[in-house]
Amino acid sequence: MLAFFSAIPVSAQNVNVEAKIDSTVIFLGQQTGFHLGVTVKEGQKVQFPQYQPLDHIIPGIEVVEILPTDTQKLDDGYLRVSAHYTLTSFEDTLYYIPAIKVKVNDKDFESKSLALKVLTVKVDTLHPNQFYPAKDVQDNPFLWDEWSRLLWLSAAVLVLFLISLLMFVRLKSEKPIVFKVKIVKRIPAHQKALNSIEEIKSKSTTVTVDDAKAYYTHLTDTLRRYMMERFGFNAMEMTSAEIISRLRQEEDQKKIDELTMLFETADLVKFAKYSVGVSENDHNLISAIDFINTTKQENAPTEERIEPTVTEKDKQSIRNRRILKWSLFVVVLASVALLVYVIWELILLCF
């Protein structure tokens, strides 16, 4: 393939072809520059031999690179057009480079011939270690860029573990709030009332006029407390008439009449100093017992479940503790994941 430069025809005496080589002696595989220069009048057409890389200008001399062609303007209307090549050889011998043909206006012009000497490097195969003895296995140099990221990640792992340790200590130092439900043994209302009446009976074998007021006060208070627990109204704050009126809505009329007599007798004793006989006292006591047994609640619960009271401070403490637990879990998980990643990167870097 040839490169063309436009020109007008001129005589052969105006054309000068020059070949030049940078170094006429090279070692095996060494490269050297080869230059073709043509001096022509302006307007002449110049055609250089155009080689491709790996082509051979002659057997044994290889073209490594083709450099761009350049043009230099001279005096008196002349131009110098130059082509540049890089050559090498891999055989130790003396090469004869014949004249290179260049066409100017389709006419052939030749350069002078050249010579290239290729030398080999002498190697003492009998004593290969006399200059450069065998070296030990060398480690790769330490590069900060390769290790800096791992060092920073390791520091992050350490910080995360310290944070998780502090959170764990904080969690352990705060005692968890435990809400215990209390189960309290509960004596049924009728049982408490009957126990109180038994106590009245044991202390009041004979009731004098002076003891009658205390006797009936104790007896009516026992009935009032029983009614308050059994029927759910505040009998302790009600008058006898109000109690009887309230009971008439629910209980047997005959039993209410007997209870009415008891409360009326009690009011007379307490407020009018009424004198009561022994038989009347016994009758009123039996009426109270009979009322309790008649109105008692069967299968009454014997245990009472007391739920704990949760304050706003307790709720806030529970929320803080729950947040601390989840935060500790996330930090520990991140620490372990980052540690595994650092170990993996360290293995890849070292092996």
Task: Output the CA torsion 51→54→57→58 (10° steps).
Answer: -160
- Residues 149 and 116: their CA atoms lie apart, in Å, by 55
Question: Is the Cα torsion angle 38, 42, 48, 53 positive or negative in sign?
Answer: positive
pLDDT on residue 95: 95
- Residues 234 and 296: their CA atoms lie apart, in Å, by 17
Which residues have C-beta within 8 Å of that of residue 327, sequence separation ≥ 6? 167
Among 69-73, 112-116, 237-241, 251-255, the least confident range: 251-255
CATH class of the 2-119 domain in this structure: mainly beta
The answer, yes or no, to whether residue 94 has pLDDT greater than 90, is yes
256-281: b (≥16 Cβ within 10 Å) or e: bebbbebbebbbebeeeebebeeeeb
pLDDT on residue 253: 66
Of 244, 246, 256, whose CA–CA distance to 291 is shortest? Answer: 256
Element (H, E) at 37: strand 31-41
- Helices H, strands E: what count in the chain? 7, 14
Average pLDDT rounded to a whole number, residues 281-299: 79
Of 238, 240, 220, 236, whose CA–CA distance to 228 is shortest? Answer: 236
Summarize pLDDT for 301-328 with one digit per residue, the tens.
666 666 667 678 877 888 888 888 899 8
Q: Token pair for residue 42?
A: 């302006």
The answer, yes or no, to whether residue 64 has pLDDT greater than 90, is yes
163 CA to centre of own chain = 14
Domain ranges of the chain: 2-119, 191-223+250-303
151-180: b (≥16 Cβ within 10 Å) or e: eebbeebeebbebbeebeeeeeeeeeeeee
The answer, yes or no, to whether residue 4 has pLDDT greater than 60, is no
Summarize pLDDT for 39-61 with one digit per residue, the tens.
999 989 899 998 898 999 999 99
pLDDT on residue 24: 93
Residue type, 235: A
Task: Output the CA torsion 28→29→33→34 (10° steps).
Answer: 70
CB atoms within 10 A of CB 39: 19
Summarize pLDDT for 149-170 with one digit per residue, the tens.
888 888 999 999 999 898 888 8
Element (H, E) at 194: helix 189-203
CA 161, 167, 168 angle in degrees (round to 5)?
90
